[in-house]
Structure 1
Amino acid sequence: MNLITLSEPHGAVAEAFHSLRTSLEFSSLEKPLRSILLAAVDASTDKTQAVANLAVVMAQAGDRVILVDGDLRQPRHHELFGLSNAQGLSQWLESGGQPPLQTTSVANLRLLTSGPVVGNPVALLSAKRLGERLSELTALTDYVLIDAPPLLSVTDAALWASQVDGVVMLVNSGSTQKAQALRAKSILERVQAHLLGAVLLNAES
């Protein structure tokens, strides 16, 4: 597992993720914030690393965290954490039952992998179904963090955004264009998502 919050826990990047966690904590003072989607604007953003690093620092701070690989098209979290993807979100969305959560090497952090890639992911992501499954997950933990395909690529992230308590938009320094970020923000507004703010990744120090 190659996560900078584990390999360099006292470095500047790890500290930035700790600051993000603190900001999210303060955001939840007025309104409960249990399920959070970290939504990349475009495919240039390494969203997987960003979501996983935030999950690690939250777990290290004592929060119980479930990380959901909601990218049913190009899942990566099972590889990052060295876990099986034989069962995961895709089957659970379809069949229900107990969520196939897996423990990770990080205390307080569990992973719901994507499960096998399906032919039509959008068919599984109905608002009603997502809402029900998220309620089940939030009952098991303090926070549910969700990774999904980029907002400008497919509709998956917008479907997730309509059901979670809050959305953090991920913008990649030097490659994400202003027009793209505005389009992504417009998508979130159309589904009445609660946009918590934006995070700039890979910025020059």
Structure 2
Amino acid sequence: MFNKKKEQQLLENELPSLITLTRPSSVVAEQIRTVRTNIQFSMIDKDLKTLVVTSAGPGAGKSTISANLAVTFAMQGKKVLIVDADMRKPTIHKIFRLSNRDGLTTLLTERSTEIKNIAHKLDIEGLYVITSGVIPPNPSELLASNRMNHLLSEIEGIFDLIIFDMPPVIAVTDAQIMASKVDGTIFIINKDGADKEMVLKSKELLNKVNSNVLGAVFNRVDTKKDQYYSYYGEGE
């Protein structure tokens, strides 16, 4: 028992944002699993292969939720890839404690590079990560390129589920571009960081590209004030 507690403490120290891994029995982890279940039920008539996670503005916790969703899907026995497609302010490599030297930008700009040489295979069974790589001067153009379309088709043939962590919708067009290419979009709303006007504007922008918005996650709720479970994580 002592060794088990020690291993758990090491996990919490090394990967504090991955609460579904470090504290799987917690209320927060259970709520992430509920989000996973709701995503699965929302796609009854079609297999969900690709998913975008975005938000109205910064600080909503979208990267933390993306990472924890990836963990819960992998724990379900799926082969999952999480891609840090926020090539302006990448966070996923920090959450998983990975090098960000090569990543999505490498795959999009160097045609000879193979996915197997870029994707990080984690100790978590079935979970892989592609970090953003070097921040490029033209993220939107890269995401809208034919090369991105080919890459998307390629990874769909390898993985059961691909989660794209995107920048906020209002800030840049990146999330709109990818939302138009994937099976579904999850929208993260920060209770204290996004007003109604910002949320409605984001919804309008996603509707313009015919994004399939599966639902929204109301994040950073204080249980002392509201009868909802809270989720406090690091990252974007």
- TM-score band (shorter)? over 0.9
Change in CA separation of 1:129 and 1:189 when aligned onto 2, cut-off 3 Å: farther
Amino acid at match of 1:50: I
Question: Is the CA contact (8 Å cut-off) linking 2:57 and 2:193 kept in structure 1?
Answer: no
**2:110 aligned residue:** 95
Selected match of 2:64 from 29, 33, 49 = 49
Question: Is the CA contact (8 Å cut-off) linking 2:53 and 2:163 kept in structure 1?
Answer: yes
Alignment of 1:1-205 (within 5 A): 1-2=15-16, 3-96=18-111, 97-99=113-115, 100-126=118-144, 128-205=146-223
In structure 2, list runs of 5 or more residues that go unmatched: 1-14, 224-236
Amino acid at match of 1:198: A
Question: What is the DSSP-based 3-state SS (H/G/I as helix, E as strand, rest coil) of the residue aligned with 2:162?
Answer: strand
Shift of 1:119: 1.7
Shift of 1:53: 0.7
Question: Is the CA contact (8 Å cut-off) linking 1:44 and 1:176 kept in structure 2?
Answer: no
Question: Is the CA contact (8 Å cut-off) linking 1:41 and 1:176 kept in structure 2?
Answer: yes
Bigger radius of gyration: 2
Query: How large is the Cα RMSD of the aligned pairs?
Result: 1.3
Q: TM-score, normalised to structure 1's length?
A: 0.95
Moved more, 150-159 or 92-101: 92-101
Aligned residues: 205
Shift of 1:183: 0.4
In the aligned structure 2, how far is the partner of 1:110 from the partner of 1:122? Answer: 24
Report the identity percentage: 35
